[in-house]
Structure 1
Amino acid sequence: MDNKTLSRDGTPIAHHRTGQGPVVVLVSGAMSTGATTAPLAAALSGRFSTVVYDRRGRGASGDTAPYAVEREVEDLAALIEAEGGEAALYGVSSGGALALRAAAAGLPVRQVAVYEPPYAVGEDGAQERAAYTRDLTAALARDRRGDAVELFLRLTGLAPEMIANARQSPMWAGMEAIAPTLAHDDAVMGGGPVPRELLASVPVPVLAVAGGASPGWLRVVAQQVAQLVPQGTYRTLEGQTHAVEPEVLAPVLAEFFAGA
């Protein structure tokens, strides 16, 4: 990351800007850094100034204790101020939930686009998320970072044999390094269910996108988000999964951010 901006509590937030045009800040999801959204930033940079950043506790950014979701909203406020004072936001997965929180908090945001924010669906989904929060809290309290990562991977639906293979892979150490931030994302999700009151207070246009090849509940959630915000639009990207391809997503985002 080329630059660091101090958030309100003094935490340094690392970020990188590329391209020219209206500013778009890309917000990554769980177990990821700004590098995760860099390919999408490159795909948008022909028409927009795209900003990728390491959320607090990840990559080159700091992580001042105690954590609160409000601190991550302040991180976005500091980035937007540093990059010109106004921006559109794109958030993937739990990063989408954070982007929506930032807009609802009154940050100078023009538009918000989200890809598959993983709010819980139904009573079963709420119970599963509550159990995850309980077990994650216990694992991190004992500094059992590998167990925390495994809990998250199980929540995403990854098969046990794939998790076992992941534990033996070179990437596992990096995942354990940022495992404490899983608690950050869990807090951002607010307990799981779709936050109806919060969404109703989002004052800007929102585009909610889901992949046609993703689990059906993720499409249901994205549709609910589009319905609950005052100015919402829903799009399905056929053939796409939760790991959406940047070259497929970028034209859809560009059309929305250009105001078409």
Structure 2
Amino acid sequence: MTTTVIPYTYGAVTSADGTTIGYRRFGGDGPGLIVVSGGYLAAQHYTELADALSRTFTVYVPDRRGRGRSGPPGETYDMARECEDVEALLAETGAHLVFGHSSGGLIALQAAKTLPGVRKVAVYEPALSMYGAFSMSWIPRFERELDRGELAAAMVTFSKGTRASRKVAALPRWLLVPMIDRLLRRRAASVGPDEQSLTELIPLQRLDVQIFQEMAAGDGYAELRAEVLMVEGDRTPPPVHKALDALQRALPHARRVTLRGVGHEAPLNHRGGPERVAEVLRSFFA
């Protein structure tokens, strides 16, 4: 675990619909790089990655809508709002580089497709619903469990549905749900300043499910013109890799890197992977 305090400063921008988007800024020299978080995650979960990247770049890690210092999702939440938030950050910071993890990778790719300000985009195992990364059959159960406040059960349903973790895929629900429930309780008791607990963040996964469904009907990324890097871990289940295969067929000139010994959570704090992910990103973005 990290024992030193990682320095950063706060900033905020106003998105097109008037929503405040707060962000953490790491470093101060080098080109601007925006890091877009995964679903129930926030800027607080990417401090180690941002710190490693800040040796080369000025890194901006926003709290997506509903998280941290950012405003609420709004009544018209969709992928367009997420891209407008990225656009506001690009305009404010002068950045032209974007990295996204998981559902944040889906947002990063869409931003690169629709915003001319994005020159290079890197993604770590993006949630490519339009390329069949996962089915949508689990969503009604997930929604019901969230409505009942059964957060651990909802997370098991989400994780098994998206098949992003081999460990979750291999274990039965009756064992996983109480395990995750205990984990959520422990984590809630140790939340630091300027952080949110997972019990606060998990309901926001509903937003990502919404954009999964929205983008599943899309036409993919064959028209994307920015330079693209795809990163994956070899411990992630095959469906994620198959979706990346489809993205690579659409973007034959994109670069692809597989990291050995890590899975879907490699970019996150305390997972042993942020420095390795940062090394690959530095090589691509530099």
**Structure 2 residue aligned with 1:71:** 81
Describe the superposition over 1:66-98 as per-residue Cα deviations: whole angstroms up to 9, x where unpaired: 1222111111111111112x3211111111011
Deviation at 1:243, TM superposition (A): 1.7
Q: Partners of 2:114 and 2:92 in 1: how far apart?
A: 18
**Structure 2 residue aligned with 1:34:** 43
Over aligned residue pairs, what C-alpha RMSD do you find? 2.5
**Is the partner of 1:178 in helix, strand or coil?**
helix
1:133 aligns with 2:139: yes
Describe the superposition over 1:41-68 as per-residue Cα deviations: whole angstroms up to 9, x where unpaired: 1111111111111110112211142122
**Does the 8 Å CA contact 1:26/1:53 hold for their aligned counterparts?**
yes
**Structure 2 residue aligned with 1:91:** 100
Distance change in 2, residues 1:143/1:203 (3 Å): farther
Deviation at 1:21, TM superposition (A): 0.6
Aligned length: 252
**Is the partner of 2:70 in helix, strand or coil?**
coil
**Is the partner of 2:281 in helix, strand or coil?**
helix
Deviation at 1:198, TM superposition (A): 2.9
**Does the 8 Å CA contact 1:13/1:55 hold for their aligned counterparts?**
yes
Distance change in 2, residues 1:122/1:38 (3 Å): closer
Q: Partners of 1:230 and 1:122 in 2: how far apart?
A: 15
1:165 aligns with 2:179: yes
Distance change in 2, residues 1:176/1:48 (3 Å): same
**Structure 2 residue aligned with 1:252:** 280
1:152 aligns with 2:158: yes
1:44 aligns with 2:60: no
Superposed, which structure 2 residues align to 1:170-189 within 5 Å?
170-171=186-187, 174-189=197-212
**Structure 2 residue aligned with 1:100:** 109
Relative to the length of structure 1, the TM-score reads 0.86
Deviation at 1:134, TM superposition (A): 2.3
Q: Partners of 1:121 and 1:106 in 2: how far apart?
A: 20
Q: Partners of 2:214 and 2:17 in 1: how far apart?
A: 25
Distance change in 2, residues 1:194/1:217 (3 Å): farther
Describe the superposition over 1:12-51 as per-residue Cα deviations: whole angstroms up to 9, x where unpaired: 1110111221111011111100111221111111111111
- State percent identity of aligned pairs: 31
Mean Cα deviation higher: 107-116 or 59-68: 59-68
Distance change in 2, residues 1:11/1:121 (3 Å): closer
Uncovered stretches (5+) of structure 2, i.e. residues with no partner: 1-8, 190-196, 267-272
Q: Partners of 2:131 and 2:110 in 1: how far apart?
A: 22
Relative to the length of structure 2, the TM-score reads 0.79
